[in-house]
Structure 1
Amino acid sequence: MPAITDRDVVRALRPFVRATGPLLDTLREANLLGLRDRAVEDGANRALVDKLWDRLAKVKVPGTAGWAAMGVAQRDEWWLNRVGRLVSLIAALPGVGGALADRLPIQSALGTAGQGVLLSAMAGEHGFTTTEDRVRLLAFVLFQREVDGRAADASTEERAREDRATEELTSELEGRSTIRAIGRTVWKLAKVLWALEGELDKRPQGRFYHQALGMLPLVGVVGDYFGERSALRRVRKAAYQWFGREQSGRPELR
């Protein structure tokens, strides 16, 4: 198998990032029912409707006043727990097959895709919103590579290919936000990364005992789930290293 080049990594990650970034940005910035701009007032004589609106405004989800009041670290934690649980579960499902599933790149691709989604979400919270920056972040954390992030081939044909790939990756989400649609989208994202099979084992992994439990049939899904959750903590640590380096403008060894 030919060695995977930085160009190969960038070519795979650009549509991946474009498919995850806009979706997460829309969720993060959505002003759900105008809640972000609504003041939360105290008082015993409020009408029932006002009480309901005020309670909703305190819910800490993107688009609410509660979310707007959260710090960056708190938002990262929200993404890590809410999104992290879902993508970890999706990545762990092949673990039902135990060691047999571990011989295939399915779980690694799904796990890498989930980590990439989380990284895109965190990047937005830290002010890194361009495709190029997010590609560099994902390459650094997932594959231990320093890449440029820009399209290696800026031709009209290459741009059209990237546009088509991005549109296909997000097609399941059009007008739908069900778990099935999300799962199918993560699966599509995983198939994009499957082309980088030789790089997938470089991503942050769970502890050795998670991997040992994951080798067992049926119960392996439990070990794999907690392994993926543990790996996401390492993903965040590596991402913070990258954020700090980029924000300070000083190169730093990994």
Structure 2
Amino acid sequence: MAEYITDKHVVSVLRPFVRATAPMLAALRDSNPFFLVRKVLPSAEADRSDADREDTEHLAKVDKSIRERLRSGLEHVRVPGTRAWDGMTVAEREDWWLNRVGRFTVLIAAIPGVGGALADRLPIQTTLASAGQGLVLSAIGMENGLDAAERVRLIAHVLFDRDIPLELARGAGLADADEDAATADLTQELDASSAKHGRVTVKAAARTLWRFGRTLYALGEELDKRPQGRFYHQLIGMLPIVGALGDYLGERSALKRAVRKGRKWLSRRPSIGSGGTR
């Protein structure tokens, strides 16, 4: 019989995970081609950095009418940093995260499926898919104004069917130093990539997703409770070569189910004064 996993242990794993998702989500949000928004739509002069001013001087050499058309066009693109993004509803931003981040994480999780049933005997796909679901849920939680503790509760409910007490989710009884060290370990690939390349590379993001999955794997059989794909996706996933397609479709379906479950939890979440924190 497997050892029982306590709520406290779940929280000790999820708190550094949730904290580490912030820089990961920022990297996925700001990666190409979204850097164009920052280049073409600089902030107010008083807030510009030296790099911003250099970008502005460079853009000044481009025909003004072309820049104005580009500026106007980018303002209507639904990405962070534009007026279109500011005008989006929370539900629309949630869908953006589902598609933007979800496609990346699901694709990485499905790659082991190339090996067919043999790869399914390994925990790689399960751990990566769980990390991907947790990452998207954290993004949705942030869009809904949830702090780290509430995002821990959201992920614990959706992935592990656990209703974690708020005080425990806030880290009561856990060592801050251990949590800080675990968070730093999860984000070291992101930090190293930013220091070397000035940005987070796809390779660094993929390795970070693996670190996320590896830390969740410490919860053992709890990962089996996460939303899964349909049975026919699993059948296709057992076939060599085309198994990757079945795994991709299955994990994509599972991710959508996780988001639906998360939205349902959010709709029932108590407001201030009823035990929750907005």
Match of 1:238 in 2: 261
Structure 1 distance, partners of 2:14, 2:7, is: 10
Q: Post-superposition shift, 1:66?
A: 1.6
- What's the secondary structure of 2:135's corresponding residue? helix
Match of 1:13 in 2: 14
Alignment check: 8 A CA contact 2:236 2:243 kept: yes
Q: Post-superposition shift, 1:112?
A: 0.4
Match of 1:42 in 2: none
Match of 2:185 in 1: 168
Change (3 A) 1:12 1:132: same
Change (3 A) 1:27 1:93: closer
Task: Give 1:131-170 correspondences, 5 Å limit.
Answer: 131-148=148-165, 149-154=169-174, 158-170=175-187
- Alignment partner for residue 38 of structure 2, among 29, 32, 36? 32
Q: Post-superposition shift, 1:62?
A: 1.2
Amino acid at match of 2:68: D
Amino acid at match of 1:161: D
Match of 2:130 in 1: 112
Structure 2 distance, partners of 1:26, 1:189, is: 15
**1:197-227 CA-partner distances (Å, limit 9, x unpaired):** 2111100011110011111122111100000
Q: Post-superposition shift, 1:78?
A: 0.9
Q: Post-superposition shift, 1:150?
A: 2.3
Alignment check: 8 A CA contact 1:204 1:234 kept: yes
- Alignment partner for residue 246 of structure 2, among 215, 220, 223? 223
Alignment check: 8 A CA contact 1:36 1:63 kept: no
Alignment check: 8 A CA contact 2:40 2:71 kept: no
Which consecutive residues of structure 2, in runs of 5 or more, have no partner in the other structure? 45-63
- What's the secondary structure of 1:170's corresponding residue? helix
**Aligned-CA RMSD value:** 2.3
Moved more, 135-144 or 227-236: 227-236
Match of 2:214 in 1: 191
Alignment check: 8 A CA contact 2:41 2:71 kept: yes
Q: Post-superposition shift, 1:26?
A: 7.8
Q: Post-superposition shift, 1:51?
A: 1.3
Amino acid at match of 1:153: G
- Alignment partner for residue 53 of structure 1, among 71, 77, 82? 71
Alignment check: 8 A CA contact 1:15 1:165 kept: yes
Amino acid at match of 2:41: L
Change (3 A) 1:34 1:152: farther
Amino acid at match of 1:4: I
Change (3 A) 1:27 1:224: closer
Structure 2 distance, partners of 1:141, 1:116, is: 9
Q: Within the alignment, does 1:180 sit opposite 2:203 as a pair?
A: yes
Normalising by the residue count of structure 2, what TM-score does the alignment of the two structures yield? 0.80
- What's the secondary structure of 1:205's corresponding residue? coil
Change (3 A) 1:34 1:26: farther
Amino acid at match of 1:116: G
Structure 1 distance, partners of 2:185, 2:83, is: 34
How many equivalent residue pairs?
240
Alignment check: 8 A CA contact 1:88 1:111 kept: yes
**1:222-249 CA-partner distances (Å, limit 9, x unpaired):** 1000001111111111111111111557
Structure 1 distance, partners of 2:269, 2:26, is: 21
**1:44-80 CA-partner distances (Å, limit 9, x unpaired):** xx72221111112222111111211111111111111
Match of 1:43 in 2: none
Match of 1:78 in 2: 96
Structure 1 distance, partners of 2:224, 2:28, is: 30
Percent identity between matched residues is 53
Q: Segments of 4+ in structure 1 off by > 2 A?
A: 21-38, 247-251
Which consecutive residues of structure 1, in runs of 5 or more, have no partner in the other structure? 39-45
